Amino acid sequence: MWNKAPDAAKSETAKSEATKLVVLAAPSGTGKSTLAAMLLARNPRFKLSISYTTRAPRGEEKNAIHYFFVSEDEFTKMIEADRFLEYAVVFGKHRYGTARETVEEMLANGKHVLFDIDVQGARSLKKAFGARCVTIFILPPSFEELESRLRNRKTDTPEAIEARLKTARDEMAAAGEFDYRLVNQNLEDTYRELEGVLQKERCL
Ligand code: 5GP
């Protein structure tokens, strides 16, 4: 007598282990979110990990699409219940975290999971997932260019812009820890480079 179940289980495992965690990190204003949106629109095998945050929605941001917006209390309860794969305080102010269940479900469904998170989050995921986690850092052409992009965006207060610039300086110093670094001079060119990296990593 033979039993199909072990084979089915094996193929499930093979399917989920072929999937990867792809982390895009960059100082804000570098075009990281635009690159992430392009990848998601063009490659259905990628799903975005939607983070939890204690910061308030900005502009057109919607709950469960851009972030799960939660109170400080709810965030603390999630930490206590060990529901985060990683979490961090970003810009010295708000907390952001990646929920375990979000990622596990996507990986189990045969999707590559894309993360738009900070350097601290990238470090944590790399440590937890090793080679299965591909970390990519997007650099602006120069710090001056980044500063002018952030000031022209007009979505933040001057204090928030200063905080972002300070974090940007610290984050750029960590770029060397990443598996890949791409300089975003021009969106379409950088996107092609990103696809090149993902092909090399057998994600596309
Ligand atoms: P923003 O407030 O501009 O949406 O995001 C601020 C920073 O937090 C960005 O660099 C973003 O990538 C990062 N971030 C968003 N979600 C997470 C997360 O779940 N974990 C970590 N470590 N950083 C995150």
Q: What are phi and psi of 146, to 5 degrees?
A: -60, -45
Residue 5 CA to ligand 1 centre (angstroms): 41
For a substitution probing ligand 1, which of 34, 65, 90, 137 has the most ligand atoms within 8 Å of its CB? 90
Q: Distance between CA atoms of 148 and 30, rounded to whole angstroms?
A: 11
| All domains in the chain, ordered by first residue | 20-200 (3.40.50.300)
Q: Measured between alpha carbons, how far apart are the two ends of the chain, in Å? A: 39
Is residue 49 in contact with ligand 1, taking CB distance under 6 Å? no
Average pLDDT, the chain: 91
Q: Distance between CA atoms of 149 and 111, rounded to whole angstroms?
A: 33
Is residue 125 in contact with ligand 1, taking CB distance under 6 Å? no
Q: Is residue 69's pLDDT more than 90?
A: yes
Is residue 171 in contact with ligand 1, taking CB distance under 6 Å? no
Q: What is the pLDDT of residues 3-44, one digit of tens each?
A: 445 554 455 555 556 899 999 999 888 999 999 999 999 999
Q: What is the pLDDT of residues 147-164, one digit of tens each?
A: 998 888 877 889 988 988
Q: Distance between CA atoms of 41 and 34, rounded to whole angstroms?
A: 11
Q: Distance between CA atoms of 47 and 138, rounded to whole angstroms?
A: 19
Largest CA distance in the chain: 72
For a substitution probing ligand 1, which of 28, 93, 96 has the most ligand atoms within 8 Å of its CB? 96
CA-nearest residue, atom 2 of ligand 1: 55
> Could you tell me the two tokens for 131?
């080679």
- Listed in sequence order, the DSSP H helices in the chain are 5-17, 32-42, 72-80, 100-108, 119-129, 143-153, 158-173, 187-200
CB contact set of 47 (below 8 Å; sequence gap of 6+): 40, 106, 111, 112, 113, 114
Residue 2 CA to ligand 1 centre (angstroms): 49
